[in-house]
């Protein structure tokens, strides 16, 4: 039977229901699934990420993604997972947190400007160059996410809730000023 391409229509659902589980089962991802995460977070960044992977991982994209994701799977602590993506692979916090949120949804939330807007802070966290300060602020960011959304929601749903709140509030402001 041919693949059911409808699964890619709702990319977030595909990522959190299939890709994350596949990673946790196999201990690595292939390039297709990895780039689904990249495209979901920032489609405009896919070429830049591909170049970075080839520069850092050598060989092919498949080889680089496998090396990256196997290395990630071998780490046990959330702090070390984030450090690995930032320092070993050169990712910035928004993309690194998106990758980690898909692969470890109970430990990570996506660092996103809309969520920062909703919780009223942390806009400069992604610009930190010293990892220990970035990590400390990311932990505070995650705590703020957990506290700002309804307690009955999962961490992923809290992220969605706050992103949606920012979208809603911004559109309301845009309409009120008639998009001028």
The domain ranges of the chain are 1-106, 109-180
User: In angstroms, what is the C-alpha Rg of the chain?
Assistant: 17
Calpha distance 160→15 (Å, rounded): 14
Joined together, the tokens standing for residue 117 give: 């807007």
36 contacts: CB under 8 Å, gap ≥ 6 = 8, 11, 14, 15, 19
Cβ count within 10 A of residue 62: 15
Do 138 and 93 meet the contact criterion of CB atoms below 8 Å apart? yes
In the numeric block, the tokens 């992220």 are attached to 159
Calpha distance 60→137 (Å, rounded): 35
State pLDDT tens for residues 22-62.
999 999 999 999 999 999 999 999 999 999 999 987 789 99
State pLDDT tens for residues 90-121.
999 999 999 999 999 999 999 999 999 999 99
Q: What is the pLDDT of residue 1?
A: 52
Of residues 69, 89, 87, 90, the one with CA closest to residue 79: 87
């Amino acid at each position: 039977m041919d693949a059911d391409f409808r699964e890619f229509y709702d990319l977030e659902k595909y990522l959190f229901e299939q890709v994350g589980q596949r990673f946790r089962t196999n201990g690595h991802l292939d390039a297709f699934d990895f780039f689904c995460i990249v495209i979901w977070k920032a489609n405009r960044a896919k070429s830049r990420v591909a170049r970075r992977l080839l520069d850092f991982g050598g060989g092919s994209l498949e080889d680089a993604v496998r090396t990256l994701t196997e290395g990630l799977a071998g780490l046990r602590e959330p702090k070390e997972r984030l450090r690995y993506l930032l320092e070993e692979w050169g990712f910035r916090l928004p993309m690194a947190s998106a990758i980690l949120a898909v692969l470890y949804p109970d430990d990570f939330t996506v660092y996103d400007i809309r969520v920062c807007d909703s919780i009223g802070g942390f806009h400069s966290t992604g610009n930190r160059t010293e990892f220990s300060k970035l990590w400390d602020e990311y932990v505070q960011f995650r705590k703020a996410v957990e506290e700002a959304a309804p307690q009955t929601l999962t961490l992923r749903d809290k992220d969605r809730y706050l992103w949606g709140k920012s979208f809603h509030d911004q559109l309301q402001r845009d309409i009120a000023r008639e998009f001028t």
